[in-house]
Amino acid sequence: MKEGRVLLVGAGPGDPELLTMKAVRALKIADVVFYDKLVGKGVLEHARREAELIPVGKSKGAHSVPQAEINALLVERAKAGQTVVRLKGGDPFIFGRGGEELDALRAANIAIEIVPGVTAGIAAAASLQVPLTHRDVSHTVTFVSGHEAGGKAPSFEHLDLKALASGNNTLVVYMGVTTGAAIAQRLLEAGFRPELPVIAVENASREDERRVATTISVLAAHPDSLGLKSPAVLIFGEVAGLPVAGVVETVLAHEEVKHAYA
Ligand code: SAH
């Protein structure tokens, strides 16, 4: 019997043109593709017509397959000799639980290949034409999750917020749509300057991409002011105040919404 294997593949942020050539090749050889909700529609079109396409992703209110079950499915199909693609939004190893799948596959002695993808924060920055690091205004970039287990806003205890507040840093928050204001409040308390720019990008790289700019003090005081819907990333830092390409909604204060065209 042909030996099976699993390819953990990053599907990028949605735009199929942001797929790597390796990701496309992986889709062309897959017998079965287990894909997440965040995978763009055009991406799956690269799979063979005969390939089995199986959604396993979470969508709010809808059934999603528990992680342990996904792990078991990957192992089972690879053991049956299939070429299995596990397709994840963005990069499989950035907030994608790719590490857990890797552990399960290694424990079962399955051959594995990892195909990196363009993560959402990088795609958002590219679309805005905002550099995440910049010689003058940002020397580090930190990808953080805006959620803790149980859906709470994170405490950021694992971050040296004092050091980050001293400037020249960029924070890119994933899964922060509902917790963005609490995060902004936390940053204010840690000494970030109130006027520090924030820019949120919803559906980065997709046709319905939307961007909203504000400051941490406005975001902290008016939690719903950005009107964000998932998926979105929030970029906190001086770079978020650099000139931006394309249309940006600007929330200056609660009542005041200005449309800026750069
Ligand atoms: N592995 C993915 C992240 C998965 S966690 C990656 O590397 O991009 C899910 C979070 O990713 C979402 O809550 C959102 O914060 C972000 N995200 C994924 N796709 C996005 C997109 N097209 N635009 C903006 N944010 C996105």
Do 111 and 211 share a structural domain? no
CA of 248 to the centre of ligand 1 (A): 19
Q: Which residues are catalytic?
A: 36, 58
Tokens representing 240? 């978020």
Please, which pLDDT band fits residue 215 given cuts at 50, 70 and 90?
very high
Give one DSSP letter per residue of the chain, joined into a string.
-PPPEEEEEE-BSS-GGGS-HHHHHHHHH-SEEEE-TTS-HHHHTTS-TTSEEEE----TTS----HHHHHHHHHHHHHTT-EEEEEESB-TTSSS-HHHHHHHHHHTT-EEEEE----HHHHHHHHHT--SSBTTTBSEEEEEES--TTSPPP--TTS-HHHHHTSSEEEEEES-TTTHHHHHHHHHHTT--TT-EEEEEESTTSTT-EEEEEEHHHHHH-TTTT---SSEEEEESGGGGS--SSEEEEE-SSS-EEEEE-
Reply yes or no on whether the pLDDT at 51 is more than 60.
Answer: yes
pLDDT digits (tens, 9 = 90+) for 17-48: 999 999 999 999 999 999 999 898 899 999 99
d(CA 25, CA 10): 12
Please, which pLDDT band fits residue 91 given cuts at 50, 70 and 90?
very high
211 lines ligand 1 (CB under 6 A): no
- Among 82, 115, 148, where does a domain finish? 115
Chain mean pLDDT for the chain = 93
CA of 81 to the centre of ligand 1 (A): 32
Least confident window among 78-92, 146-160, 163-177, 183-197 = 146-160
Cα angle for residues 46, 97, 207 (degrees, 5° grid): 45
pLDDT given at position 167: 85
174 lines ligand 1 (CB under 6 A): yes
Do 127 and 77 share a structural domain? no
Do 131 and 107 share a structural domain? no
Please, which pLDDT band fits residue 257 given cuts at 50, 70 and 90?
low
Do 124 and 99 share a structural domain? no
d(CA 28, CA 200): 34
CATH, residue 152: 3.30.950.10
d(CA 56, CA 73): 10
pLDDT given at position 75: 98
- Segment 110-131 shows an average pLDDT of 98
The proportion of the chain whose per-residue pLDDT surpasses 90, expressed as a percent, equals 81
Do 136 and 104 share a structural domain? no
Give the Cβ contact number of residue 40 at 10 Å.
22
- Among 115, 143, 161, where does a domain finish? 115
Residue 99 identity (one-letter amino acid): G
d(CA 85, CA 204): 24
Do 140 and 62 share a structural domain? no
127 lines ligand 1 (CB under 6 A): no
CATH, residue 90: 3.40.1010.10
Ligand 1 pocket test: pick from 17, 38, 208 the residue with the most ligand atoms within 8 Å of its Cβ.
38
Do 133 and 30 share a structural domain? no
Give the Cβ contact number of residue 85 at 10 Å.
29
With 0-12 / 13-18 / 19 or more C-beta atoms within 10 angstroms meaning exposed / middle / buried, residue 57 is middle
pTM over 0.85: yes
Q: What are the φ and ψ backbone dihedral angles of 215, each rounded to 5 degrees? A: -125, 165
- Segment 216-223 shows an average pLDDT of 95
pLDDT given at position 183: 96
Do 228 and 144 share a structural domain? yes
Do 139 and 111 share a structural domain? no
- Segment 56-65 shows an average pLDDT of 70
Q: Indicate which residue's Cα is closest to atom 6 of ligand 1.
A: 90
Q: Indicate which residue's Cα is closest to atom 11 of ligand 1.
A: 174
CA of 3 to the centre of ligand 1 (A): 33
Reply yes or no on whether the pLDDT at 262 is more than 50.
Answer: no
Do 82 and 60 share a structural domain? yes
Domain with 99 in it? 5-115
- Among 95, 115, 135, where does a domain finish? 115
pLDDT given at position 58: 66
pLDDT given at position 150: 78
The number of domains in the chain is 2
Do 176 and 160 share a structural domain? yes
Q: Indicate which residue's Cα is closest to atom 13 of ligand 1.
A: 175
Do 101 and 126 share a structural domain? no
